[in-house]
Amino acid sequence: MAKSNLYGRDLITTQEWSKEEIIQTLELAEEMQKKRFSPEFSNVLNNRSFFMFFYNPSVRTRQSFEVAATELGGHGLFLEPKTMRLKTATSAGETVEDAANVMARYACGLGIRILEDKIADYGEGDALIREYAKYSEIPIVSMAHDKFHPCQGLADAMGYRKHLGKDLKGKTILHAWGHGALGRSHCSVQESMLICSRLGMNVRVAHPKGYSLDPEVVKWTKKNCSDNGMEFAVTNDVEEGYEGAEIVYSRNWMSEKAYHGGEFHKAEEVEKALKFTDWICDEKKMKLTNNGFFSHPMPVDRGHEVTDEVASGKRSIIIDIAENRLHVQKAVMALTMAG
């Protein structure tokens, strides 16, 4: 491949990439899916290593990034911060500056995954990733952090382009809060709001009072929609947002008071969320949509966020989207890391 205009770029949120760069990535991912084992792409990262820094565990993220690196001819290396002597707020060790500079001499890129229970307040994960980006000479890729999940957003968009057509302008997506037992971060839903609004969709958000999302992300989404002549709406009504939607994205996320006293209070979040039993995506609500598809970044909290009937139904595209993680990550790695 020729060196791309994205070579050397970080991916912390798709909001920081142009719409043209997003489309370029999606188109390459779609081509890579069609030619999955083609020699055209099998040596893109020949003999290069991609470091994967996991503060939090995963299912799809580790698997998809390791497979992506392998299929591009490279190697994905799993790293756990707890096994390294890194400086923290409570312990001595190597600084981010030193660690980032050294890792940049070894690898062609660095992915970081840091979610809600590994930070003391909202925004700290984003700040850590940006500190690595400040000192590193190789691309930094968010593998999900407290604010954003760009690779999931790209996988979502790839799925919507497959099922709704490549021009998403004028289509409507609902991000519906779901009651659940996981106390989840905002990252996936916020990234979905941003990328869908960039691609010309109408964006809706439905949640109970007390579960507002990041005001800055809401502001960006509203502007993205306005720039495209589309609508952005927020409702506290459990059914209102479903009406006429082409995509329903039902996902639990933490409340506005999830952090206090310097820690994330997961047990409190779960106890509070489980009281909102009406906030589940079911067939009754899906019938209000425009023959809508059900979307979710997984893992799905079945019986809380969504019923089995919907999650395993004919209009569920969750497995397609999970597969897309592999293809969009291959595209991101090829465009940002291949010389």
Question: Which three-class secondary structure state does DSSP give residue 77?
Answer: strand
Q: Are residues 143 and 48 in the same domain?
A: yes
pLDDT value, residue 81: 87
- Domain with residue 248: its CATH number is 3.40.50.1370
The count of C-alpha atoms lying within 13 angstroms of the C-alpha of 34, restricted to the half-sphere facing its C-beta, is 7
How many domains, the chain?
Answer: 2
pLDDT value, residue 1: 45
pLDDT value, residue 4: 65
Q: Are residues 46 and 126 in the same domain?
A: yes
Nearest residue to 78 (alpha-carbon basis) of 55, 101, 96: 55
Q: Are residues 179 and 286 in the same domain?
A: yes
Nearest residue to 178 (alpha-carbon basis) of 89, 282, 259, 59: 282
pLDDT value, residue 138: 98
Question: Which three-class secondary structure state does DSSP give residue 91?
Answer: coil
Residue labelled with tokens 């497995």 = 319
Q: How confident is the prediction along the chain (339 residues), in pLDDT tens digits per residue? A: 455 699 999 999 999 999 999 999 999 999 999 999 999 999 999 999 999 999 999 989 999 999 999 999 999 999 998 888 887 766 778 999 999 999 999 999 999 999 999 999 999 999 999 999 999 999 999 999 999 999 999 999 999 999 999 999 999 999 999 999 899 999 999 999 999 999 999 999 999 999 999 999 999 999 999 999 999 999 999 999 999 999 999 999 999 999 999 999 999 999 999 999 999 999 999 999 999 999 999 999 999 999 999 999 999 999 999 999 999 999 999 999 996
Q: Are residues 143 and 164 in the same domain?
A: no
Residue 121 belongs to a domain = yes
pLDDT value, residue 255: 97
Q: Are residues 222 and 203 in the same domain?
A: yes
Residue 44 belongs to a domain = yes
Residue 2 belongs to a domain = no
Q: Are residues 96 and 212 in the same domain?
A: no
Q: Are residues 161 and 310 in the same domain?
A: yes
Residue 7 belongs to a domain = no
Q: Are residues 61 and 174 in the same domain?
A: no
Q: Are residues 305 and 269 in the same domain?
A: yes
Q: Are residues 258 and 329 in the same domain?
A: no
pLDDT value, residue 82: 86
Q: Which range of residues forms the domain containing residue 300?
A: 152-321
Q: Are residues 156 and 56 in the same domain?
A: no
H helix runs in the chain, sequence order:
19-34, 60-71, 96-106, 124-135, 150-164, 187-198, 215-227, 266-273, 283-286, 308-311, 318-337
Residue 83 belongs to a domain = yes
Residue 6 belongs to a domain = no
DSSP string, 209-274: TT----HHHHHHHHHHHHHTT--EEEE--TTGGGTT-SEEEEE----TTSEETTEE-HHHHHHHHT
Q: Are residues 120 and 204 in the same domain?
A: no
Cα 112 → chain centroid: 12
Q: Is the pTM of this model over 0.95?
A: yes
pLDDT value, residue 93: 84
- Alpha carbon distance 315, 200 (integer Å): 22
